[in-house]
Amino acid sequence: MLPASLDEAVDALAAAPAAVPVAGATDLMEAVNAGRLRPAALVGLGRITELRGWRYEDGGTAVLGAGLTHARMDRPDFAALIPALADAARTAGPPQVRNVGTLGGNIVTAAPAGDTLPVLAALEATVTLARAGASREVPVSHLLTGLDPVRPGELLTWVRVPLLHAPQVFLKATGRSGPARATASVALVLDPARRAVRCAVGAVAPVPLRPLEAEAWVAGCIDWDGSREIDPAAGAAFGEYVAAACVPDNYGAEGAWEAVTEGPTAAAVRLRRTVSVLARRALGRALK
Amino acid sequence: MTSPTDIGAALQQDGGEGGAVPEPFGLGSSPLRSDALPKALGIYPYAADLWAEGLLWGAVLRSPHPHARIRGIDTSAALALPGVHAVVTAADLPPGPDGLPDGAPAGPIIADRPVLAAGVVRHHGEPIAAVAADHPDTARLAVGLIAVDYEPLEAVTDPEQAFTAPALHPDGNLFRHLPLRTGDPDAVGEIVVEGLYQVGRQDPAPLGAEAGLAVPRPDGGVELHLSSTDPHGDRDRTAACLGLEPDRVRLVVTGVPGATTDREDLSFQVTLALLALRTGRPVKMTLTREESFHTHTSRHPALLRYRHHADAEGTLVKVEAQILLDGGAYADVSAEALAAATAFSVGPYVCPNVFVDAWAVRTNNPPAGRMRGEGALQACFAYESQMDQLAARVGVDPVEIRRRNAMSTGDPLPTGQAVTCPAPVKALLDAVAAEPLPALPVDDPDAEWLLPGGPGGAGDPSAVRRGIGYAVGMVHMLGAEGEDEVSTATVRVSGDHATVICAAVDAGQGFATLARQIVQTVLGVSEVYIAPADSDQSIAGPSARGRHTWVSGGAVERAALMVRHQLLQPIAANFGMSVELLQIADGKITSYDGVLGMPVAEALEGKELWATAQCRPHPTEPLDESGQGDAFVSISFCAMRAVVDVDIELGAVRVVEMAVAQDVGRALNPRQIEDRIEAGVAQGVGLALMEDLQTTGGLLGNPSLTGYRLPTSLDTPEVRIAALLEERDVVATFGAKAVSAVPAVVAPSAVAAAVRAATGLPVGRLPIRAEDAVTG
């Protein structure tokens, strides 16, 4: 099925709820080719041009189409709007993948190392799930954690992101210089209107994690009215705080749900060091 | 849009622009590889693109356990699936000596690896059964319906446990123990440095995954279309496994992607042939990426313990070492890799007293095999790390400590063999040391500076430290320890063009281009065709260990010289002079006195001349019980200087530049040599920083190109060729040395040395993980 408009697509899904919507197919076809997935039908979203762009709403929100490609998000006009999302899109993979891989696809695939996810979590973005005759708004984090999953016949159409007009940073640690899966990533956005710092750590858990206490603490250390400078020691402490909040002591240990008796595992120490450096650098860049 | 052929034509026109640029011709020039353009444009036909009318699709069932007894296999459900034509297991292969199925074991040295597991599986992913069906999905579905009753057994995955563990195979757990003893065991030096070194599992990860087509023949034989790099060896082993005469199996080499190892695994091609014979129809099989990681052999993981004794000036007194190679479940070429690791355990240095014990053992890990400088690479990492430690202890520059101990022509290896080929180790070191260093970002603030971690990464300039490291290494060429090396080639000239028929497979090393250059030089014919390789031609041997430049190149040269004699003889007789007084140059036959000047084309008109010749280098001998013997035909050397940037907080490493000086004997095709050096550096950097096929309890952890990180273009450094030293190796064909393996051997050690210099950390493990490069 190759609908030409959003309505057609939603109708198609209503008619065949088992059908799988497909946009860039960078994850989907890999699973199909490997025999892990055998969809009953596909609904191609490639011809729905309205989903490939974005619009503004109420002056303070950007409504991004789910069909926005990573390559498009990396362009300067978009980067000026939501810099952290542009940074995440830029490092998300090789050009061949970024040219077709979409924002919506990244969300519904919900891979632990999905690069746009920590950014969306830090931005507290919401998504629109459309179905025939109705639609609903769900916070990205609720969708990712499975608190409020996509229901049969629903299509992820729009992603609502607040425009904060302030520095945002996305940093990721990988094992090589070329595009690679993150071993840990940190998205950090400043929200001067609310005098808040919001931060999310990706790739260390199945979903992006928000160190809420660390956020609140560091927001109190920033001189919001002045130069927004921060004591380097506070930046380092923030890094440690974020790392301790997001990486449990028993990270990587067998039987990870059992109580830990002997302090953090070696894997936890290593990952915390990485996360803490990333968070400190992200904060430093945001406040520079 | 421009079509591929338009681009091709445009490129060709560019080459001939102005009409003044002649096509590169003969030895010493740099013609482009004939398959370079099709491969770059994506129009090159690979083995996965093969097609035959009415073909069936093959699929393989692989073991999910690293070690298990097979109590039973029930294939009835799979056979009952509509569209399935055949299901084969070990019981369908010729039985073993005791009349029971043994899976038709085979192997390059020792036949111990079953085509399909019989009774026991010894590694994760070992093939157990195969299916032929009319659709690839049906085949895969049928594989899922084969019920195997496993009794999981304890997996031996630590090579150190292999000595005491119960035998994993009737042949035992020890592939080879090689002791090497030379000199005075009681010698001691003023300075002693010790180290324990580890090398991980690197995978060749060929981008073209294994694929092939088998077509049954009316005479009961089978024709295999595969990207084999050893057509005759693979044919003979396939025939033996199927219980056929070798001439009933024909192997046609097709669509070889760049290969850095043996291309096909035997199980794959025997299974394919068996399915075709069983069904009487062509069968095609294409492995998935994951299967590809399971099926081909990887580099030997190694554990090396070293102790170097030196005097106060840093001159080596004694080297003691213990080397342990994890050969995985089956023998493959472990014995040969071990010989290289032992013989080159000291490196290109002179040391009078050497005591080494080396073992290659069997475990339930994936089998290890041939991969550019197998054995030599692992030893290089250890001895070069030791030399860095020694330099620090003596308090001299790392280049100086190497110069003081460097070997030259005529010096002995610890095996007692004198290095009679050129060994310009000092000259190589001096060449890389003299190269200007790359600019620091502070010197060139306008240039976009790539931080460790890549563009848009997390790099922070204030945490980046630069390090410079040096390494020298060596690797032998051709088979060692008495292996019979021989190649045959036929050169035919008819009219204005020549044809070379030789079963040497061009697996990226450039043999086809070289053969063309040889014939151009000897016969003055510009149009030279290289016939595709297949096993009906005479034996040329495998594409490995840099053999073909020497052995097959030698055969082509001899055949071409014989044709040249046939061509010149009547002309010489006509003019009453001997053939030696005539020469061929610039497409013309001229006599010494200039009286005769005849275009080659004219002399060849209407003639059809051909000759077949063989080349067999001088024999070698096996290493004896104390590791002594003339085991190698020749050795090549290389020195490298690595410049790296390390983010010491995140442990991210970027190799900025590699300066390379290599001993090439004679540069037959300078561009191709540089290509091969760049390829070796890329592979070496991969091993040094990221390539690591992980196993947990024998199970492969990352059999995908997302999990197994290969270096991308951003990870591959600038390669600066400091020198291609051309000191002719008098016994080698054209005096040229093989060039592909030695850069891959040396590069990881150079990168490790540079990371050591940048961080001050010991770095005793390859690949260097992020946590190994974090200071504080």
Give the minimum alpha-carbon distance from A169 to chain B in angstroms, rounded to a whole number.
10
Cβ neighbours of B682 in A, within 8 Å: none
The domains of chain B, with CATH numbers, are: 49-153+210-286 (3.90.1170.50), 302-480+622-773 (3.30.365.10), 487-615 (3.30.365.10)
pLDDT above 90: residue B121:
yes
Mean pLDDT value of segment B248-277: 84
In CATH terms, the fold of domain A168-287 is Enolase-like; domain 1 (3.30.390)
Distance (Å, rounded) from C-alpha B741 to C-alpha B636?
9
- Residue B308, beta-bridge partner list: B193, B319
Distance (Å, rounded) from C-alpha B285 to C-alpha B212?
6
Yes or no, beta carbons of A173 and B454 under 8 Å apart: no
Q: How far is CA B588 from the centre of its chain?
A: 39
Yes or no, beta carbons of A176 and B140 under 8 Å apart: no
Q: How far is CA B747 from the centre of its chain?
A: 15
Q: Are strands B353-361 and B464-477 parallel, antiparallel or unpaired?
A: unpaired
Please report the ipTM that was assigned to this predicted complex.
0.90
Per-residue model confidence as pLDDT tens digits over A155-188: 999 999 999 999 999 999 988 888 888 999 999 9
Mean pLDDT value of segment B232-242: 92
pLDDT above 90: residue B585:
no
Contact A186, A282 (CB under 8 A): yes
pLDDT above 90: residue B258:
no
Q: Residue type at A90?
A: R
- In sequence order, what are the residues at sequence separation of 6 or more whose Cβ sits closer than 8 angstroms to the Cβ of residue B211? B46, B47, B48, B50, B226, B227, B255, B284, B285, B286, B287
Yes or no, beta carbons of B452 and A273 under 8 Å apart: no
pLDDT of B720 reads 95
Per-residue model confidence as pLDDT tens digits over A112-148: 999 999 999 999 999 999 998 889 999 999 999 999 9
Distance (Å, rounded) from C-alpha A81 to C-alpha A84?
9
Residues in chain A: 288
Task: Concatenate the DSSP letters of all residues of A71-95 into one string.
Answer: HHHTSHHHHHH-HHHHHHHHTSS-H
SS3 of residue B440 by DSSP: coil
Distance (Å, rounded) from C-alpha B328 to C-alpha B345?
22
Q: In degrees, to the nearest 5, what angle opens at C-alpha B606 toward C-alphas B603 and B612?
A: 80
Q: Is the dihedral of CA B638, B639, B645, B647 positive or negative?
A: positive
Closest C-alpha among B154, B174, B102, B172 to residue B364: B154
Band (pLDDT 50/70/90 cuts) for residue B646 is very high
Per-residue model confidence as pLDDT tens digits over B203-216: 998 888 889 999 99
**B245: left (phi > 0), else alpha (psi -120 to 50), else beta?**
beta
Residue A71 phi/psi, 5-degree rounding, is -65, -40
Instruction: List the domain boundaries for chain A.
Output: 50-162, 168-287
User: Could you say which DSSP state residue B412 is in?
Assistant: B
pLDDT above 90: residue B575:
no
Helix (H) / strand (E) element for B364: namely none
Mean pLDDT value of segment B285-305: 93
> B interface mutation test: which of A36, A97, A177, A201 has the most B CBs within 10 A?
A177
In this predicted structure, which of B466-470, B541-545, B743-747 has the lowest mean pLDDT? B541-545
pLDDT of B13 reads 40
The answer, yes or no, to whether the previous bond of B767 is cis (omega within 30 of 0) is yes
Mean pLDDT value of segment B729-755: 93
pLDDT of B8 reads 41
pLDDT above 70: residue B321:
yes
**Nearest neighbour of B709 by CB, restricted to A34, A180, A281:** A180
Closest C-alpha among B299, B230, B300, B298 to residue B269: B230
Yes or no, beta carbons of A277 and B649 under 8 Å apart: yes
- Average pLDDT, rounded, for chain B: 90
Cβ neighbours of B701 in A, within 8 Å: none
Give the minimum alpha-carbon distance from A124 to chain B in angstroms, rounded to a whole number.
23
Burial label, B243 (beta-carbon count in 10 A; 0-12, 13-18, 19+): exposed
Band (pLDDT 50/70/90 cuts) for residue B455 is confident
Per-residue model confidence as pLDDT tens digits over B16-67: 333 444 566 788 888 888 788 888 888 888 888 889 999 999 999 999 999 9
pLDDT above 60: residue A287:
yes
Cβ neighbours of B688 in A, within 8 Å: none
pLDDT of B202 reads 95
pLDDT of B17 reads 38
Cβ neighbours of A281 in B, within 8 Å: 458, 460
Yes or no, beta carbons of A174 and B457 under 8 Å apart: yes
Q: Which two tokens stand for residue A282?
A: 């992200």
Distance (Å, rounded) from C-alpha B224 to C-alpha B247?
12
pLDDT of B445 reads 64
Per-residue model confidence as pLDDT tens digits over A228-265: 888 899 999 999 999 999 999 888 776 545 555 677 88
Mean pLDDT value of segment B513-540: 88
Mean pLDDT value of segment B356-371: 95
**Nearest neighbour of A177 by CB, restricted to B453, B706, B771:** B453
Size of interface A-B (CB pairs under 8 A): 76
Give the minimum alpha-carbon distance from A220 to chain B in angstroms, rounded to a whole number.
25
Cβ neighbours of A284 in B, within 8 Å: 460
Distance (Å, rounded) from C-alpha B432 to C-alpha B262?
32
Closest C-alpha among B110, B114, B133, B130 to residue B122: B114
pLDDT of B571 reads 86
Tell me which range, B204-208, B321-325, B481-485, B525-529, is most confidently predicted by mean pLDDT: B321-325
Q: Dihedral, CA atoms, A260, A262, A267, A271, nearest 10 degrees?
A: 80
Band (pLDDT 50/70/90 cuts) for residue B543 is confident
A87 touches chain B (CB under 8 A): yes
**Nearest neighbour of A91 by CB, restricted to B457, B689, B770:** B457
SS3 of residue B372 by DSSP: coil
CB atoms < 10 A from the CB of B154, how many? 11
Per-residue model confidence as pLDDT tens digits over A36-78: 888 889 999 989 999 999 999 887 899 999 999 999 999 999 9
Band (pLDDT 50/70/90 cuts) for residue B694 is very high
Residue scoring higher pLDDT (A261 or B365) = B365
Distance (Å, rounded) from C-alpha B376 to C-alpha B341?
5
pLDDT above 90: residue B15:
no
pLDDT above 80: residue B90:
yes
Closest C-alpha among A103, A125, A106 to residue A210: A125
Cβ neighbours of B774 in A, within 8 Å: 273
Task: Concatenate the DSSP letters of all residues of B44-63 into one string.
Answer: ---GGG---TT-EEEEEEE-
Mean pLDDT value of segment B543-567: 90
Mean pLDDT value of segment B706-710: 90
A35 touches chain B (CB under 8 A): yes
Closest C-alpha among B387, B383, B409, B410 to residue B400: B387
Distance (Å, rounded) from C-alpha A241 to C-alpha B275?
61
- Residue B106, beta-bridge partner list: B113
pLDDT of A254 reads 64
Yes or no, beta carbons of B458 and A178 under 8 Å apart: no
Yes or no, beta carbons of B454 and A179 under 8 Å apart: yes
Yes or no, beta carbons of B774 and A175 under 8 Å apart: no
Give the minimum alpha-carbon distance from A44 to chain B in angstroms, rounded to a whole number.
23
Q: Which two tokens stand for residue B23?
A: 């096509």
Yes or no, beta carbons of B650 and A90 under 8 Å apart: no
Rg (CA), chain B: 27
pLDDT above 90: residue B560:
yes
Residues A142-163 as b/e (b if ≥16 CB within 10 A, e otherwise) read ebbeeeeebeebbbbbbbbbbe
Residue B476 phi/psi, 5-degree rounding, is -85, 160
- In sequence order, what are the residues at sequence separation of 6 or more whose Cβ sits closer than 8 angstroms to the Cβ of residue B310? B189, B190, B191, B192, B193, B316, B317, B390, B394
A177 touches chain B (CB under 8 A): yes
Band (pLDDT 50/70/90 cuts) for residue A275 is very high
Nearest CA in chain B to A33: B288
pLDDT above 60: residue B649:
yes
Give domain A50-162's CATH architecture. Answer: 2-Layer Sandwich (3.30)
Yes or no, beta carbons of B770 and A87 under 8 Å apart: no
pLDDT above 90: residue B582:
no
Mean pLDDT value of segment B94-118: 90
Q: In degrees, to the nearest 5, what angle opens at C-alpha B234 toward C-alphas B232 and B238?
A: 120
- In sequence order, what are the residues at sequence separation of 6 or more whose Cβ sits closer than 8 angstroms to the Cβ of residue B538? B488, B489, B490, B503, B612
Helices in chain A by DSSP H: which ranges?
6-15, 28-33, 70-73, 76-81, 83-90, 95-100, 103-109, 116-123, 140-145, 212-221, 232-246, 266-287
pLDDT above 60: residue B505:
yes
Nearest CA in chain B to A186: B458
pLDDT of B643 reads 96
Rg (CA), chain A: 20
CB atoms < 10 A from the CB of B207, how many? 11
Per-residue model confidence as pLDDT tens digits over B586-637: 778 888 887 788 888 888 888 889 999 999 988 899 999 999 999 999 999 9
pLDDT above 80: residue B11:
no
Distance (Å, rounded) from C-alpha A199 to C-alpha A283?
9
